[in-house]
Amino acid sequence: MRGPIANQRLQQWVDEVVALCQPDEVYWCDGTRAEYERLMAQMVSSGASIPLAKRPDSYLFRSDPSDVARVEARTYISTPSQDDAGPTNNWIAPDELKRTMTGLYDGCMRGRTAYVIPFSMGPLGSPMAKIGVEVTDSPYVVCNMHIMTRVGDRVLEALGADGDFMPCLHSVGAPLGPGEEDALWPCAPMEDKYISHFPDENLIWSYGSGYGGNALLGKKCLALRVASARAHREGWMAEHMLILRLISPEGRRYHIAAAFPSACGKTNLAMIQPTIPGWRAECLGDDIAWMWIGADGRLWAINPEAGFFGVAPGTSYQSNPVAMDTVRANVIFTNCALTDDGDVWWEGMGVPAPAHAVDWRGHDWTPGNAAPAAHPNARFTVPATQCPGISPDWENPEGVPIDVFVFGGRRAGVVPLVTEAFDWDHGVFLGATASSETTAANIGAVGALRRDPFAMQPFCGYNMADYFGHWLTMGDRLGDKAPRIFHVNWFRKLANGEWLWPGYGENSRVLKWICDRVDGRVAAQETAIGYLPRAEDLDLNGVAVPAEHLAELLRVDIAAWRNEIPDIQRHFGQFGARLPQRLHDQVRALEERLANYE
């Protein structure tokens, strides 16, 4: 039996939540393995979880078909002024939103247990770690939070009597009456789903969805949307970025923070195995980076998460062998197909489709079916500790110094394989205008082109024009110690759909050029859009890239780039007078370079 909670503010908040939501029981999570196994056993018993005979301590869940991804249309940034939320966020006034959600929360946990999850984003003891407490009525959320964060008594000890925490309230929105049978995946209808952030209060309320970042509130909600606003106020950075260490044959270590929209290869790059002899890579994080200026004037970073919440379809021993080895055991799979011998399967796994499976909806599936066996956004949740490529410094509380920023996206044309920014302001412009073709990770038309600045459009918790300004200010503070900035595009295609670049581990050849640029060992050609490699400066030994493909990958299509300008201007125009003048200057400079390009 747990004794009294030392932090009275925490106890008071939990008491208020319990009085509002009216759960049958309240359980304080201790973070132990026994707790995880007990909750998982309960979900196996209820039929919500399926143990996998082929993967030790691994389980499969199937979500409701209405609850399969982030719901951006139901995600809100609630600030006193709508202009502070900005045009890229959905906004409802705080009083109105709290009134609506309080009505939904009233009695929403009847028939259920309220689980209180004290969690830390970042290694306990790190100067950058932040503590949150999530109250949820979902044992699935508890088990995933065990993997994705540091949970339990040690967090309460670190919080102490006077420590600060971020309150995070979550409910699946499906109260149970006496004797009522529970759904295998309880959730509320779409119109009752709310993922709400009150960044001025460091407060998160989520209702109606049990899926991913809608419910694991330490992830996108705390670590990006609320943390980005807090970082703006406090002078640090919360970014949707992987952190990768590359090690040259001579032992030189380079630290790269890279931003890609979800499901555009972030996890593959974070776990890359270089194909260039002598080069090695270590994964420090696959999704989120918190960064601050250290005593030495450089930018330092930690990965605040403790696990990987990766997209399964397309993950294979060709695309990401490290991830495949990581998910051999101790995994929570969501919306994958179940094979007859007790394993999971998904499209793009690199092994033949089973003759029969049960698909993510629970229906019989055979290879002739038109519908996919696994949902395109099917996921795996797995501890970072069992990744064979994890860096020994991944939990270093002091973090690692960042040498390079890389922005990227999924563009079939226009954008070259790799571009280096002329300077910091130009690099911010590259990040602010980054674009990608949408994927199944977010609800909406797949393949539509949208601007996704810094891969943060769904995750910036305040006006994005001010976010751009924050990047410019951070560059001013860093001065000549600022990381170099690059943009990459592995996804170029010919008109017939053929890939121009082999990708996957071969992307290390682009990263090597980037590292060589940092150290001044290799030249570049100056173009209207930035510095590009000369063909001879890319190390292509051992890989067959036709000369005509390479020429296209490194070509600047002036007409296409001129056609980009109106869309960039429309993109920037939505921010009105709040957009920093320095970005207007970058547009004009690009127009002039394109006009003068020969």
Half-sphere exposure of 354 (CA within 13 A, CB side): 20
> How confident is residue 263, by pLDDT bands cut at 50, 70 and 90?
low
Residue located via tokens 């390079």: 404
Work out the percent of the chain whose per-residue pLDDT is above 70: 97
Rounded to an integer, the average pLDDT of 313-327 is 96
- Catalytic residue among 143, 264, 283, 515, which? 264
Residue 61 CA, distance from chain mean position = 21
Backbone angles phi and psi of 318, in degrees to 5: -80, -45
pLDDT score of 265:
84
Q: Which superfamily does CATH assign the domain made up of 8-30+62-67+74-234 to?
A: Phosphoenolpyruvate Carboxykinase, domain 1 (3.40.449.10)
Mean pLDDT, range 314-339, rounded to an integer = 97
What is the reported pLDDT for 1? 46
Nearby residues of 527 by Cβ (< 8 Å), 6 or more positions away: 556, 597
Taking the CA of residue 244 as centre, how many other CA atoms within 13 Å lie in the half-sphere pointing to its CB?
Answer: 29
The tens digit of pLDDT for each residue in 101-129 reads 999 999 999 999 999 999 999 999 899 99
In whole angstroms, what is the distance from residue 409 CA to residue 406 CA?
10
3-state secondary structure of 388: coil
Across residues 182-207, what is the average pLDDT?
Answer: 98
Report how far residue 372's alpha carbon sits from residue 366's, in angstroms, rounded to the nearest whole number.
Answer: 10
Which pLDDT score is estimated for 4?
A: 81
Please, are residues 243 and 391 in contact by the beta-carbon 8 Å criterion? Answer: no
3-state SS, residue 426: helix
Which residues, 6+ apart, have CB-to-CB distance to 509 below 8 Å?
Answer: 275, 276, 538, 539, 540, 543
Q: What is the pLDDT of residues 9-61, one digit of tens each?
A: 999 999 999 999 999 999 999 999 999 999 999 999 999 999 999 999 999 99
d(CA 256, CA 272) in angstroms, rounded, equals: 12
Give 528-590 as a 3 state SS string: CCCEECCHHHCCCCCCCCCHHHHHHHCCCCHHHHHHHHHHHHHHHHCCHHHCCHHHHHHHHHH
**In the prediction, which pLDDT does 2 show?**
67
Which phi-psi region, left, alpha or beta, contains residue 86 (left: φ > 0; alpha: ψ -120 to 50)? left
Phi first, then psi: what are they for 375, rounded to 5°?
-65, 145
* Catalytic annotation present for 264: yes
Contact of 303 with 243, CB cutoff 8 Å: yes
Neighbours of 597 (CB within 10 A): 13
pLDDT for the residue 443: 46
Work out the angle at residue 399's Cα, subtended by the Cα atoms of residues 394 and 402, and round it to the nearest 5 degrees.
105
Residues 6 or more apart whose CB falls under 8 angstroms from that of 257 comprise 239, 241, 242, 243, 244, 289, 291, 301, 402, 404, 405, 406, 483
Q: What is the spatial distance between Cα 222 and Cα 224, in angstroms, rounded to a whole number? A: 6
Give the least confident one: 375-389, 433-447, 559-573. 433-447
Cβ-proximal residues to 172 (8 Å cutoff; 6+ apart), any chain: 137, 138, 186, 187, 188, 208, 209, 210, 215
Q: Kindly calculate the radius of gyration of the chain based on its CA atoms and give it in whole angstroms.
A: 24
Tens-place pLDDT, residues 498-520: 999 999 999 999 999 999 999 99
| Residue whose C-alpha is closest to residue 471's, from 224, 198, 238, 226 | 238
Beta carbons of 147 and 383 less than 8 angstroms apart: yes
- Domain locations in the chain as residue ranges: 8-30+62-67+74-234, 239-303+394-596
Q: Which amino acid is at 366?
A: T
pLDDT, the chain, mean: 96
Identify the pLDDT of residue 24.
98
pLDDT surpassing 70 at residue 472: yes
Provide the CA 592 distance to its chain's centre, in angstroms: 36
Indicate if the pLDDT at residue 153 is higher than 90: yes
What is the mean pLDDT of the segment spanning 369-397?
Answer: 97
Q: Is 238 helix (H, G, I), strand (E, B) or coil?
A: strand
Burial of 363 per CB tally in 10 Å (0-12, 13-18, 19+): exposed
Is residue 457 very low, low, confident or very high in pLDDT (cuts 50, 70, 90)? very high
What is the percent of the chain with per-residue pLDDT over 90, rounded to a whole number? 95
Distance of alpha carbon 105 from the chain centroid: 28
Residue 369, Cα to own-chain centre: how many angstroms?
31
Judged against a pLDDT cut of 90, whether residue 436 lies above it is answered with: no
| Region 239-303+394-596: CATH code | 3.90.228.20
- Taking the mean position of all CA atoms in its chain, how far away is CA 120? 17
CA distance 55 to 518: 43
- Beta-sheet pairing, 379-383 with 357-358: unpaired
DSSP state at residue 222: I
Question: pTM to 2 decimals?
Answer: 0.96
Give the C-alpha distances (Å, rounded to integers) separating 96 from 103, 196, 202, 378, 478.
11, 12, 18, 34, 41
Q: With bands split at pLDDT 50, 70 and 90, how would you rate the model's confidence at 437? A: confident
